[in-house]
Structure 1
Amino acid sequence: MITNLHSFLHQYFTVHDCKVITENDTEMTIQLTRDLDQVLMNRPFYWHYMDKIGRQGEPLSLELDTNTEKKDNNKEWIHYGSPRLQQIFQHIKQQARYTMLYEEKDSLNKSALLPWLVTNLKVQYAGSQKKEDIYSIGLQLINGSIVSNMMNQIESIALQRVMSDYSYTISPIIRPISGFNRIFQFVEDQLLDQNWQWAIESEKLLQEELKLVEYFFDKQEDNQDILNKEKERLHERLQPKIIIEIINAGLFYLKEETTQSIINKART
């Protein structure tokens, strides 16, 4: 699960070439690029006018507060479930569902880059109470090591879209499609270890509501179609279920020492 939303957002904006102007543990000011301004700031008429008069235009900046509770400041509070975060997730799904990045290096020595499958997943809990969690999982495609909070692990690593000179990639032993299956199984195993009281309570409430509508419509004739629709509506609203959805994924080629460091941290 992504436990550090701040790090996740930092990675998102830097990967999209935005400049982090100021930042502390819970606040950040981001200078947007034109592309992200168009995605996030809802100013189509402004950009249309800039293009019409032949000017470059000025992208806006975002001042975000990632604290767990809303503070009395001028920054936009962004949290799980907030419209801004959902907007970012939607952009990731549409424009950056899959990417390939390479760790930057500046030495003249030839060095290998090892493949990682990095996947960000949204886990939605549906029932009488709804919530969602974000999981960021990295799978090393040579030895099969799995690491949680992968975005936090790589946030300080310089990544680029083009491989540096004197670098070469090692071909995956584990195929990406098999890697996705391993990641899903890993997340499902973690979910099985959670407290399922929410699902028990939601199922209990569903059965109680079904009995009520059956009792009500039992007193009336020729209402079977309405009864069936009411039951369907109750199942849709209260039936406990978990939905796992891929936000985005990528093949990341990292240096051997970086790979070993990530695996070592995951073991501690």
Structure 2
Amino acid sequence: MAIEHLNDFLQNYFTAHSCDLLHNQDGVLTVQLTEKMDRALMNRPFYWHYVKSTGFAGEPMKLTLITNPDKRDEKGDWIHFGSPRLQQLFTHLHTNEKYTRLFQKIDTTAKLALYPWLVINIKISYVGKQKKDEIISIGLHLVNGMMKTEMMDYLKTLPLQMTISDYCFTISPLIKVSSGFKRIEAVLENYIENQTFEWADESVKTLNEEIKMLKHFYSDRMDEENLERKMEQEIDEIINRYQPHVSFRVINGGIFYLNDDPALTIQ
């Protein structure tokens, strides 16, 4: 299953970046890179500088990626979780594709309105004695202000593309993106405030116990040179390790133009 998922990811990744799939069979995928993707992935800056200085178009490379373990000895890049090439693709996505703008693909011969949604995927981290991460996906209708959670699960059911379909037109947002993000931020803060915090209480309890034990350890040795400073440093390390806190980070997001759907109701 992991092999299929990796192969699907590679197909979608290169197709989205306008690269032709020359061969795709039994876990072996060969793609023809565009100039842009060659520059991003193949580390040939001197080649591209030379061909451009001479007035030639240049020839982007082909790239073969192997996800089938039985084929790993064939010529190409063996792709698995943790492989350098896969990490390079993830880094490229994270750096260049954090935000997107997509349209719902609709086959129609009548004029049809598409409404703008601001969709943000956020990782909430609960950090203390132990760490727990939670991924939340929220969509905000930028015309009527309606919100929907688990928005990515809904978007996965829709055909999406980078260009608007024929006969479709977009409705201008009434809510600015910056204002919309603040609304989502407020919802997240309210969500966090309403969580139970036994984990935080446990972290504070452990923190105090560790500091108490440390001070007891040093209590009979405080006359030694620089020992007090060393104890304070260790206390700071304990606080950094156990002090509970919650943070959230935007993973990715974008503006999605969607047709009205009864399934898009407030959650």
TM-score scaled by length of structure 2: 0.67
Tell me the equivalent position of 2:216. Answer: 215
Three-state SS of the structure 2 residue aligned to 1:204 is: helix
Of 159, 162, 165, the match for 1:157: 159
Kindly tell me: are residues 250 and 50 of structure 1, through their superposed partners in 2, closer, same or farther at Cα, counting changes over 3 Å?
same
Mapped partners of 1:19, 1:138: distance in 2 = 32
* Aligned partner letter, 1:188: E
* Aligned partner letter, 1:242: V
Bigger Rg over Cα: 2
Gaps of 5+ in 2: 51-55, 73-77
Tell me the equivalent position of 1:245. Answer: 249
Kindly tell me: are residues 164 and 234 of structure 1, through their superposed partners in 2, closer, same or farther at Cα, counting changes over 3 Å?
same
Mapped partners of 2:13, 2:194: distance in 1 = 30
Structure 1, residues 26-79: CA drift from partner, whole Å, max 9, x if none? xxx99897778997x9x758x999999x99677667788xxxxxxxxx99887x
Tell me the equivalent position of 2:128. Answer: 127
Query: Is 1:224 paired with 2:225?
Result: no
Mapped partners of 1:225, 1:109: distance in 2 = 76
Structure 1, residues 165-196: CA drift from partner, whole Å, max 9, x if none? 43322222222112111112222333334332
Three-state SS of the structure 1 residue aligned to 2:263 is: helix
Is the CA contact (8 Å cut-off) linking 2:30 and 2:62 kept in structure 1? no
Tell me the equivalent position of 1:200. Answer: 201
Mapped partners of 1:113, 1:215: distance in 2 = 67
Gaps of 5+ in 1: 23-28, 65-73
* Aligned partner letter, 1:232: D
Mapped partners of 1:88, 1:232: distance in 2 = 38
Three-state SS of the structure 2 residue aligned to 1:121 is: strand
Kindly tell me: are residues 150 and 164 of structure 1, through their superposed partners in 2, closer, same or farther at Cα, counting changes over 3 Å?
same
Of 237, 240, 248, the match for 1:236: 240
Three-state SS of the structure 2 residue aligned to 1:215 is: helix
CA RMSD of aligned residues (A): 4.3
TM-score scaled by length of structure 1: 0.67
Identity %: 34
The offset of 1:208, in angstroms, is 0.9
Three-state SS of the structure 2 residue aligned to 1:234 is: helix
Kindly tell me: are residues 243 and 88 of structure 1, through their superposed partners in 2, closer, same or farther at Cα, counting changes over 3 Å?
farther
Three-state SS of the structure 1 residue aligned to 2:209 is: helix
Q: How many residues align?
A: 245
The offset of 1:254, in angstroms, is 1.1
Three-state SS of the structure 2 residue aligned to 1:261 is: coil
Tell me the equivalent position of 2:142. Answer: 141
The offset of 1:105, in angstroms, is 3.0
Kindly tell me: are residues 233 and 191 of structure 1, through their superposed partners in 2, closer, same or farther at Cα, counting changes over 3 Å?
same
Query: Is 1:99 paired with 2:103?
Result: no
Kindly tell me: are residues 199 and 62 of structure 1, through their superposed partners in 2, closer, same or farther at Cα, counting changes over 3 Å?
farther
